[in-house]
Chains A and B, each alone.
Chain A
Amino acid sequence: MRAALVVNRVVHDVEANLCAILRGIRRASVEGADLVLFSEAALTGLINEDRPSHDLPLGIEVPGPVMDQLAEAAARCGIWIGLGLLEREGTRLYDSAFLVGPEGRVGLHYRRIQPQWHGPQADPSVYRQGSELPVLRTPLGAFAFLICGDLFDASIGHRFRALEPDWLLYPLARCFSDGAVDQQRWKEEELPDYIERVQRSGATALMVNYLAGRDLMSGACGGAWVVRPNGQVVASLPLGEEGMLLVDLESPTL
């Protein structure tokens, strides 16, 4: 499987972010990728403020025009598309991830289970979590999502491992509290924790963070990594860089 992990700079203009995602899909396809993966909340950034009047409009409805364009792009380019999106269902908001197949159908729909994508005081009737951990078995192997903080929740991690997926699709949204883009600090203080959690998951993790300035909430520092279940970092894109990490990975024997 050739995977393309795309780190986009997310800005306030949602239409511009969607165009960047569509460009990333096309570029990944031209590069021969079977799968392209984007970050958590790739269309808007994780900029929810626990105010429904502000946050609900950030969510996309599925089905809806955004998913239509992604499905069309998947079919046009013959590629799997994985990405995180804030999802609105009526007056409920979820931190979700979708895997759209090359036939233009949503194959995986995951809603983040761990709740720390919003504040503890956020209205629980609006800010919702999922409970399901779906796995999609494909010719490329079995895929499952976790989103950001899910990976650090022991019970979610345990459930994930029991499902034995081959690939962990892991969109995230991370920044340092001081807004730094500090590769050394990341490598020494943060990445080892992620690697340890990936090892516990038992799957090869494809991890993508978006890039954003501090004008977009606290910003996000970017970066993409492919981590084997033995803890080996197979490939990475450094923090602070927009771009595409292309990596050829051996698919499991089916």
Chain B
Amino acid sequence: MRPPGDESGAFLVAIDRLQPSQLYVSAEKLARVREMIASSGPASLAPLPVVRLGKDVVLTDGHTRTYAAWSAGQNSLRVAWDRDELDMEAYAICVGWCTGEGIRAISDLEDRVVSTDAYQRLWLDRCAAMHRLLATRRTG
């Protein structure tokens, strides 16, 4: 069955149906995205990439844009199935981190908008450590 979507494959989905795969949002990045949306308008945002993981529709990118849209009062967003080959094991780990900490929707990140330094330490460094572990395991 063809997935839903317009000619570009994009379709509207309720924001609260999107499962994050990220634990934090950078306040500085958020400010830049808000500035971009203010100057270009929300319609300028490209559809956000999602994948299905079990029953969940998971954001693979664009958490900051999604958070900006949600916090501006939007309740739906254009998304598109991510057709790229992805490291689904890594995404499954990230989603596991999120669900393990009770993050089931973008609104659950409300108390997790952190400074650049904290974002680096709490999120980016954690991703990097996971990849080092995965690489070690995969190369035996």
Taking Cβ atoms with an 8 Å cutoff, the residues of A that contact B are 15, 19, 22-23, 26-27, 29-30, 32, 63-65, 68-69, 71-73, 75-79, 102-105
Contact = CB atoms under 8 A, between A and B. Distances in A.
Given A22-B61, A71-B124, 20 more contacts: A15-B46, A26-B84, A26-B87, A27-B84, A30-B87, A63-B28, A63-B32, A64-B32, A65-B29, A68-B26, A73-B61, A75-B128, A77-B87, A78-B90, A78-B130, A78-B132, A102-B132, A104-B127, A104-B128, A105-B120
Given A23-B84, A26-B84, A30-B86, A104 B124 contact: yes
Taking residues whose C-beta sits less than 8 angstroms from the other chain, chain B's interface range is 20 to 34
A78 B46 contact: no
B43 interface: no
A19 B46 contact: yes
Contacts of B28: 63
Contacts of B127: 75-76, 78, 104
Contact of B131 (A30, A63, A78, A105): A78
A29 B138 CA distance: 13
Contacts, number: 64
B45 to A, nearest CB: 10
A103 B126 CA distance: 8
B12 interface: no
